[in-house]
Amino acid sequence: MIQTNDGRRATFDQAAPQWDLSDRRVRLAASVAREITSRIQLSLDMSVLDFGTGTGLLGFSLADQVKTIYAMDNSHGMLQELERKIALYGKKNIIPILKNPLLESSPLPEPVDLIISSMTLHHIEDIDLLLDRFYSYLNHNGSLAIADLDSEDGTFHAQQEFPVHHGFERPMLEKLLQRHNFQEIAFSTPFTVEKEYEAERIKKFPVFLVTARKSSGSTNKHRI
């Protein structure tokens, strides 16, 4: 998870060894991966950026269908766990990158054909800057596939002390992507998170997947 807050980043560092033990996280990543493959044609010559990769749950689900996955995060703990899994399962085409693109403007090792991200966007304060970075990372006609929460009342992160976005309104996010020269924007709902609250109440939180394509005929006029 990409964090600009040192305390929040330390929390993810500490959580990394147990991260994959959550059945809900594993099922969410698998559902998002299936939805991505149903909407974007993957191939073995594609390079992919997995933004906010964490322990690589989403990237691992797609690794056998693409050439390279650059797995970006700024949590040392998460990337250490990812490196352990890469060695264990022999996924040599997954390349960890310790980086926060909101603080570093350096390019990727190569332009990528696809950027994927799951449950990271709501942790990002400056989404405009992030979309500028994404635009600069993509090849012409490259695609985005971002999964995150629909707008909610703040109870999803009720137990966390760090401020986050309380999900996103789809029309607002669509307009933001259009402003950054992305086109062919489409939404679906690949997963719904269910969380238990007091008195055994269950609350449901829909997770959207938005896909979009970089406009090959446009020049990004925003900050880079």
- Averaged pLDDT for residues 124-151: 96
Crossing angle for the helix pair 170-179 and 127-137, nearest 10 degrees?
A: 50
3-state helix, strand, coil in the chain (%, to 5): 35, 30, 35
Question: Does some domain include residue 219?
Answer: no
Indicate if the pLDDT at residue 15 is higher than 90.
no
H or E element in which residue 88 lies: helix 76-89
Q: What's the pLDDT tens digit per position in 39-71?
A: 999 999 999 999 999 999 999 999 999 999 999
Task: Provide the 3-class DSSP secondary structure of residue 213.
Answer: strand
Expressed as residue numbers, the domain containing 96 is 6-214
User: pLDDT class for 158, splitting at 50, 70, 90?
Assistant: confident
How many independent structural domains does the chain possess? Answer: 1
User: What whole-number distance in Å separates Cα of residue 20 and Cα of residue 41?
Assistant: 27
pLDDT tens-digit series, residues 77-116: 999 999 999 999 999 999 999 998 888 888 899 999 999 9
Which CATH number fits the domain that encloses residue 70?
3.40.50.150
How far is the C-alpha of 212 from the C-alpha of 180, rounded, in Å? 11
On whether residue 220 sits in a domain, the answer given is no
Band (219; pLDDT cuts 50, 70, 90): very low
pLDDT digits (tens, 9 = 90+) for 111-130: 999 999 999 999 998 999 99
pLDDT at 205 over 70: yes
